[in-house]
Amino acid sequence: MERQMRRNVLFNTAGSLLFYICQAAITLLVTALAGAEANGLLATGMTIANVCLSAASYGMRTFQVSDLSGKYTDRSYLFSRYITLTAAGLGCLVFSFINSYSAEQRWVIFLYTGYRLIESWSDVWHGYLQKAERIDIVGISFGVRGIVTALSVTLGLLLTKDLVLTLAILFVLNAAYVLVVDIPLARRRADLKRTGGAGVKALLLECLPLAVYAFLNTTIASVPRYYCERILGSVKLGYFNNVFLPVMILQVAVIYLFVPFITTFAHLWTDRNGKGFYKGLRLLGAALVALWIAGTIGVALLGRWGLSILYPTTPEVLDYAPLLGPLVLATVCTVAATVLCHLLTIAREMRGLILGNLAGLAAALLASQPLLRAFDVYGSAWATILGIGVQAIALLAFLLVRCKKQFAAG
């Protein structure tokens, strides 16, 4: 068991990190091969796609893998995902047309969102693998798809010089990979023939608070970016995303390092092992402090140099290098909030999840416009910190209250 856990941690972290490095490289490739204007179009598409992805995933992955009693069948999880995917896709279409976007911008939004929704499609299949303690397979799959993504964008832009056509190629190849590789591998670990238990409607209703939380959680970070594009324009939003890119890779690495331990925390919670659960929380806090210190020192010493290597064709990005410091703090807050959301899901503390995320969203909405107007693109970073910081503090408070009740007899 310990050997498999080490394998899970190694392959899932390495594969997921490779996937998101390659996914983040889309920004680099578009900037270098298509220019700042195309990168601005892509940045807007990324902002909308993030919200649609959270709606499609419905916040259900942690619920799925922690359903140790089998209250819902594997078929129910699968069918519910097709419903949420359809709803998210329709939501993307509606949002794109009620805003004054150009035809090219809408195509970028549609295709990039479609590409991201493939993650939600594969996510439910990956849930079967994680529940079977084979998240190492998930990591390998992510790694291969990351390479497919980077090659698709590189060759697409070099051969067609067209962002929309390149995104269409990206979408088709990723969908084909999930269909041909991911689904057959996961189907072997899923029991899709089992019937009984609660149905799809009951599952969607019980997870509705998780869907609301997932939507709110993504929206908190998206609100400052949305107003950045509306107030300052897509090019400056593109610069913000360019600077955030190396920090985001660190963020993804830390979050996916935690993923294999979700099942462990679920068992600690179910067994009412308060000592082990609190020890995990203390280790998490220490790791976040260490991450903040290391990240702050790293960007202070190497940040400008690193950006010059990443964006040799757009030296104007270097003017925004001071953004790196605040964005490291935003990353630490994001990791904390993400992990706390997972833990509250395990605790089935739905009320705390929603209220905590609502608090963060309210802070982001109130702060974004005045901070952007006062501090230009830097205001987007400070609004992100404020929103996610308030969210993390509220989530921690709800978790500690719930822990006190759960472990009272321990």
pLDDT of 146-201, one tens digit each?
999 999 999 999 998 899 999 999 999 999 999 999 999 888 887 777 776 668 89
| Residue 256 confidence (pLDDT) | 65
Are both 173 and 249 inside the same structural domain? Answer: no
Looking at 146, 175, 206, which one is the last position of a domain? 206
Are both 172 and 266 inside the same structural domain? Answer: no
28: left (phi over 0), alpha (psi -120 to 50) or beta: alpha
**DSSP 3-state of 72:** strand
| Residue 115 confidence (pLDDT) | 95
Looking at 145, 176, 206, which one is the last position of a domain? 206
| Residue 159 confidence (pLDDT) | 92
C-alpha 186/C-alpha 138 separation (Å) is 9
| Residue 188 confidence (pLDDT) | 86
| Residue 410 confidence (pLDDT) | 53
Are both 177 and 103 inside the same structural domain? Answer: yes
Q: What's 408's DSSP letter?
A: T
For residue 170, the enclosing domain spans: 1-206
| Residue 86 confidence (pLDDT) | 95
| Residue 369 confidence (pLDDT) | 95
Are both 201 and 236 inside the same structural domain? Answer: no
| Residue 197 confidence (pLDDT) | 67
Are both 6 and 26 inside the same structural domain? Answer: yes
Task: Report whether 328 contacts 348 (CB < 8 A).
Answer: no
What token pair was written down for 180?
């041909």
Looking at 181, 206, 231, which one is the last position of a domain? 206
Are both 383 and 292 inside the same structural domain? Answer: yes
Are both 234 and 127 inside the same structural domain? Answer: no
Are both 135 and 263 inside the same structural domain? Answer: no
Are both 172 and 91 inside the same structural domain? Answer: yes
Helix (H) or strand (E) holding 237: helix 234-258
Are both 214 and 145 inside the same structural domain? Answer: no
Which residue from 203, 201, 148, 141 is spatially nearest to 173, judged by alpha carbons? Answer: 148
Measured at the CA of 176, the angle between CA 79 and CA 102, to 5 degrees, comes to 90
In three state form, how does the secondary structure of 321-381 look?
HHHHHHHHHHHHHHHHHHHHHHHHHHCCCHHHHHHHHHHHHHHHHHHHHHHHHHHCCHHHH
Task: Report whether 341 contacts 353 (CB < 8 A).
Answer: yes
Buried b (16+ CB within 10 A) or exposed e, 134-156: bbbbbbbbbbbbbebbbebbbeb
**pTM attached to this predicted model:** 0.72
CA dihedral 157, 163, 167, 170 (to 10 degrees): 10
CA dihedral 11, 170, 118, 7 (to 10 degrees): 0
Are both 192 and 259 inside the same structural domain? Answer: no
Measured at the CA of 125, the angle between CA 121 and CA 127, to 5 degrees, comes to 115
pLDDT beneath 70, residues of the chain = 1-2, 5, 196-198, 253, 256-257, 259-260, 409-410
Total count of domains within the chain: 2
Are both 215 and 228 inside the same structural domain? Answer: yes
| Residue 409 confidence (pLDDT) | 61
